[in-house]
Structure 1
Amino acid sequence: MDKFYHSVRLDADLCMGCINCIKRCPTQAIRVRNGKAQINSKFCIDCGECIRVCPHHAKHATYDKLDVLKQYEYTVALPAPSLYSQFNNLDDVNIVLNALLMMGFHDVFEVSAAAELVSEATREYLSENPDRLPAISTACPSVVRLIRVRFPNLIPNLLPLNPPVEVAAILAAEKAMKETGLPREKIGIIFISPCPSKVTYVKSPLGTDHSEVDRVLAIKDVYPQLLSCMKAVGDDPPEIGTSGKIGISWGRSGGEASGLFTEEYLAADGIENVIRVLEDMEDQKFTNLKFVELNACNGGCVGGVLTVENPYVAEVKLKRLRKYMPVARSHIDGDAEELVKWTKDVQYEPVFNLGNTMMESFARLNQVERLCKKLPGLDCGSCGAPTCKALAEDIVRGEAVESDCVYYLRENLHKLSEEVSILADDIAAGNAEGYEMLKVMTEYIQRISDEMSLLDSRDEKEKEKE
C-alpha cells in the first residue's frame, strides 16, 4: 500500500502555469516547472486547497462514479453528516435516507450514528488518559497527515480512535453479512464524501491497516439525483435514522467537541488556522485544554470541495436541522468498544528533512540560510516556488538553480555588464590579457540574455491568457 497515495491530482493539459496553487498550498507541496505545476506526493496532505483556488480547474479529486453500485450484489450507503446540510428546508433526515434507498442502495448506515460512538469513546479516553492531554481529533485525515509529516512532537497527542466513517463501515459490513448471508466481497460499503481527504483515507488509511469502505462517491455527484428522489419520498417517510444532535453536529466545526460535554476544548477550521494552532501547541502555549478539534476545511466538513452549498449557509442549515433531535441515539456496547480503537500507530515521516542525517541536515540548513541572504526575499513566486526560502531549499536539494530567480538573474546580468565594460576599457588601453576573459563573459551574458528573453516571453504569454 502506497503511504503517499493521493486523491488530489493534476491535469497538466489544463494547467496554465499560474502561481495561485503554490501560494495557497499549506505544505508547499506544489512547484511550477517548465510552465506546469508539479505536486510533490510526499508533502501533499490532500486538503484540497489547490482545487479550491485553481482558476483553470487543473486540479481535481479522484473518486468513484455512481455506476459502482452495479458492481455489488448488495450496497450500503454511508452518508456523511454534512450531506444533510446541502438541502433547503430539510427538517427530517429520514427524507434523505429514504431517498438514498430509492437511488438504488439496499441499506443505509449513518456516519453520524457512528460519530456518536466515537464521541462516547473519546469521553472515556479523556478521563482515562490525563497524561496525553490535550488530545487532538483524528477525524480529519488531512490534519493527521499534516501532523505525521510536520509536527512529530504532537503525534502522541493524536486521539487513537478510528474516524466515524471507518466505524460506520465496519458496523455496516457486519450487519449486511448477517442479514444477507453474502460474503464480504459481494457487499459494497459506499461512503458519500464531502472532501478528497476521505478518499485518500480509504485508499491509504492511518491508524488501521485496511479500510472497510469499498468505494467513495462525491456529495456533488450524488446531490442532483438525490434531490429528485427526495421529492418522491414525501413529507412523512419511514423512520430509519439512528443518530441525534451529537452525531449530526460532526458535520460542522466545533460539532465533535460539543459532544464531549466539556468547555475545556479548542476548535479551529481552515488549514492555515490549523497550522497556527499546531505551532502554538508545539510551543506549549495552550494550558488546561482537554481536547483540540481541527478541520482542514473552512466551517468543517460542510466546507469540503466536493460539496455544493456555501459552507456557512450549510452550517446554519445543520444547526436548524438538529434543533428538535434527541441528544444521542447510538451508544457503545461490548462489541463496538474495540472496533472504535486504532489497531496501528501513526509513524513520523520526515519528508521535510534536508538531509539523511542530522549533521547533513544542519549543513544544508546553513546553505539555505546563505542562499536566502542572496535572494531578494520578495516571495513573488516567479521562480515556481512559493517563497524564497522554498527556492533555497529546492536548490540545496538539487531540484532548482539560483538562476531560477528572475531578480537574482537580472542583478547578476547587470553586474556582469559592468565588469565587461571595465574589461573593454582595459583592452582599449592596450591590455591584451583581458581579451579572452571578455570573450568568455560576453558569451555568458548572451546565454543569460537568452534566458531572460524566454522569461519575458513567458510572462507576456501569461498576461495574454489572463
Structure 2
Amino acid sequence: MDKFYHSVHLDEDLCRGCINCIKRCPTQAIRVRNGKARINSKFCIDCGECIRVCPHHAKQASYDGLDVIKEYKYTVALPAPSLYSQFNNLDDVNIVLNALLLMGFDDVMEVSAAAELVSEATREYLAEHQENLPIISTACPSVVRLIRVRFPNLISHLLPLNPPVEVAACLAAKRAMEKTGLPREDIGICFISPCPSKVTYAKAPLGTEKSQIDRVLAIKDVYPRLLSCMKAVGPDPKEIGTSGKIGVSWGRSGGEAGGLFTESYLAADGIENVIRVLEDLEDQKFTSLQFVELDACSGGCVGGVLTVENPYVAEVKLKRLRKYMPVARSHMDDGEHAEECMAWTNQVVYEPVFSLGQNMMESFARLNQVERLLKKLPGLDCGSCGAPTCKALAEDIVRGEAREEDCVYYLRESLHKLSCEVSHLADGMAAGEKDGGETLRLLKEYIQKISDDMAKLDEEKR
C-alpha cells in the first residue's frame, strides 16, 4: 500500500503557473517549475487548501462516481454528518436517509451514529490515560498526516481510536454480511465525503492496515440527485436514523469535543490555525488541557471542498437540525461488534520527509549550507522563484532540486555584476585595440539588455 497515496492532483492544462497555491500550502508541498505547479507527494497531506485557493481550478480531487453503486450486489451508504447541513429547512435526518435508499443504496449506516460510539470510547480513554494528556483527536486524516511528518513529538498524544467513518464502515460491513449472507467482496461500503482527505484515508489509512471503506463519493456529486429523491420521500419518512445531537455535531468544529462532557478542551479549525496550535502543543504551552480537537477545514467538516454550502451557513443549519434531537442514540453496549471496530491495529510512525540528509551529520551539514544560501538570497519570500519562501528555495537548492539562478533578484544582481565586469574590460581594451573594443562593446550592450529585461520581469512579478 502506497503510504504517500494522494487524492489531490494537478490538471496541467488548467495551471497557469501562478503562486497562489505555493503561498497557502501548509506543508510547502507545491513548487512552480517551468510555468506549472508541481506537488511533492511526500509533503502533501491532502488538506485541499490548494483546491480552495486555486483561481484556475487546476487543483482537483480524485473520488468515485455515482455509478460505482452498480458494481456491487449490495451497497451501504455512509452519510457524513456534514451532509445534513447542505439542505435548506431540513428538520428530520430520516428524509435524507430514506432518499439515499431511493437513490439506489440497499442500506444506510450513519457516520454520526458511529461518532457517538467513538465519543463514548474517547471518554473512557481519557479517564484511563491521564498521564498522556492532552489527547489529540484523530478524526481528521489531514491532521494525523501533518503530525506524522512535521510534529513527531506529538505522535504519542494521538487518540489511538479509528475515526467514526472507519467504525461505521466496519459495522456496516459486518451487518450487511450477516443480513445478506454475501461474501465481503460483493458488498460495497460507500462513504459520502465532504473532503479529499477521507478519500486518501480510504486508500491509505493510518492506524489500521486496511480500511473497510470501498468507495468514496463527493457530497457535491450526490447532492443534486439526492435533492430530487428527498422530494419523493414524502412528509412522513420511515424512522431509520440512529444518532442524536452528539453524533450530528461532529460535522462542525467543536462538535467532537462537545461530546466528551468536559470543559478542558481546545477546538481549532482551518489548517493554519491547526499548525499554530500544534506548534504551541510542541512547546508545551498548554498545561491543563485534556483534549484537543483539530479540523483542517474552516468550520470543521462542513467546510470541506467537496461540499456545496457555505461552511458558516452550513454550521447554522446543523445547529438548527440538532435542536430537537435526543442527546445520543448509539451506545457501545448496543452492538457486539462496536469494540472490535474501535481501536487502532497499527501505530502511526514518524516520516522524516523534511529531513535534509540521510543522517544527523549530513542534515547538520546541509543545514549550514541552507544558512549560507539564505545570506545570499533577498529574504523577500516573494514566490517568484516557484518556492513559497527563500528558505524553501535554499532547501531545494541543497537537495539538488533548484538553482540559485531561480531567484529573480539573485539572477539580476549576478547579471549586473557581469555587465560591469564586461564594461570595465571593454573600456580597457578599446583604448589599445579598436576591433576588440568594438566586439566587447557589443557584448556589453547585450549583457545590459539582459539585465534590463530581468529588472522589468522583476517589476512585473511585484
Report the TM-score, using the length of structure 1 for normalisation.
0.94
> 2:26 is matched with which residue?
26
Partners in 2 of 1:400 and 1:431 — Cα distance?
41
CA contact (8 A) 1:136 1:291 kept: yes
CA distance in 1, matches of 2:278, 2:303: 20
Q: Map of 1:282-297 to 2, 5 A cutoff?
A: 282-297=282-297
Code of the aligned partner of 1:170: C
SS in structure 1 at match of 2:205: coil
**1:132 shift after superposition:** 1.2
8 A Cα contact 1:416 1:445, kept in partner: no
Aligned pairs, how many? 458
Q: Matches of 2:442 and 2:261 in 1, distance apart?
A: 74
Q: Pick from 424, 427, 430 the counterpart of residue 425 of structure 1.
A: 427
- Report the counterpart of residue 366 of structure 2 in structure 1: 364
Q: CA deviation at 1:287?
A: 1.1
Q: Does 1:84 align with 2:84?
A: yes
Deviation at 1:423, TM superposition (A): 2.1
Matching of residues 236-255 of structure 1 within 5 Å: 236-255=236-255
Aligned-pair CA distance for 1:369: 1.1
SS across alignment from 1:188: strand
- Name the SS of the counterpart of 1:75 in structure 2: strand
- Tell me if the contact between 1:413 and 1:445 (Cα under 8 Å) persists in the aligned partners: no
Q: 1:102 to 1:266 in 2, by over 3 A?
A: same
Q: Deviations over 1:415-453 (max 9, x none)?
A: 222222222233245599xx89x97x9979968966985
Amino acid at match of 2:232: A
After TM superposition, the structure 1 stretch with the greater mean CA deviation from structure 2, 379-388 or 292-301, is: 379-388
Shift of 1:335: 3.5
Partners of 1:233 and 1:139 in 2: how far apart? 32
In the alignment, is the contact (CA less than 8 A) between 2:416 and 2:451 conserved in 1? no
1:138 and 1:103 map into 2 onto residues whose CA distance is 31
Residues 89-137 of structure 1: per-residue CA shift (max 9 Å, x gap) = 0000000000000000000000000000000000001010111110000
Provide, for residues 51-91 of structure 1, a one-character-per-residue CA deviation record: whole Å limited to 9, x for no partner: 01111111100000000000001000000000000000000
Task: Give, as a single letter, the amino acid of the residue that structure 1 aligns with 2:29.
Answer: A
Post-superposition Cα deviations, 1:4-52, rounded to whole Å, max 9, x if no partner, equal: 0000010111111111111110000000000000000000000001101
TM-score of the superposed pair, with normalisation by structure 2: 0.95
Pair 1:452–1:170, CA change in 2 (3 A): farther
Q: Could you say if the C-alpha distance between residues 447 and 197 of structure 1 is closer, same or farther in structure 2, counting changes exceeding 3 Å?
A: farther
Task: State which drifts further: 96-105 or 231-240.
Answer: 231-240
Q: Which residue of 2 aligns with 1:337?
A: 339
Q: CA RMSD in A?
A: 2.3
Which SS does the other structure have where 1:335 is aligned?
A: coil
Answer yes or no: is 1:38 the counterpart of 2:64.
no
1:431–1:60 distance in 2 versus 1, CA, 3 Å: same
Question: Aligned to 1:31, what secondary structure does the other structure show?
Answer: strand
1:233/1:385 Cα in 2 relative to 1: closer, same or farther (>3 Å)?
same
The 2-side partners of 1:455 and 1:325 are apart by: 64
1:73 aligns with 2:73: yes
How far apart in 2 are the matches of 1:43 and 1:122?
30
- Where does residue 134 of structure 1 map in the other structure? 134
How many angstroms does 1:412 deviate by? 1.4
Q: Give structure 2 stretches of 5+ with no counterpart.
A: none
Give the 3-state SS of the residue equivalent to 1:356 in structure 2.
coil
The SS at the match of 1:322 is helix
Matches within 5 A, 1:193-272: 193-272=193-272
Question: Partners of 1:223 and 1:361 in 2: how far apart?
Answer: 49
Equivalent AA in structure 1 for residue 259 of structure 2: G
Aligned structure 1 segments of 4 or more residues deviating by more than 6 angstroms: 441-445, 454-460
Aligned residues of 1:188 and 1:214 also touching (Cα < 8 A)? yes
Q: Report the CA distance between 1:235 and its aligned residue.
A: 1.7
Q: Within 5 Å, which residues of 2 pair with 1:2-17?
A: 2-17=2-17
Which residue among 363, 374, 377 is the counterpart of 1:375? 377
Counterpart CA distance in 1 for 2:174 and 2:444 is 71
Unpaired runs of at least 5, structure 1: none
Counterpart CA distance in 2 for 1:332 and 1:288 is 28
Residue 154 of structure 1 and its aligned partner are, at CA, apart by: 0.3
| 3-state SS of paired residue (1:211) | coil
In 2, are the aligned partners of 1:420 and 1:442 still within 8 Å (CA)? no
Q: Which residue of 1 aligns with 2:322?
A: 322
Distance 1:370 1:281 in 2: 31
Aligned residues of 1:116 and 1:330 also touching (Cα < 8 A): yes
AA at the equivalent of 1:26: P
Cα contact 2:207–2:347 (8 A) shared by 1: yes
Aligned to 1:104: 104
1:182 matched to which residue of 2? 182
In 2, distance between residues paired with 1:454 and 1:375? 16
Q: Report the equivalent of 1:164.
A: 164
**Counterpart of 1:347?**
349
* AA of the residue aligned to 1:201: Y
* Structure 1 position 391 matched with structure 2 position 393: yes
Match of 1:409 among 405, 408, 411: 411
Separation of aligned partners in 1, 2:21 and 2:257: 31
SS in 2 for 1:32: strand
Q: Which one is further off, 185-194 or 408-417?
A: 408-417
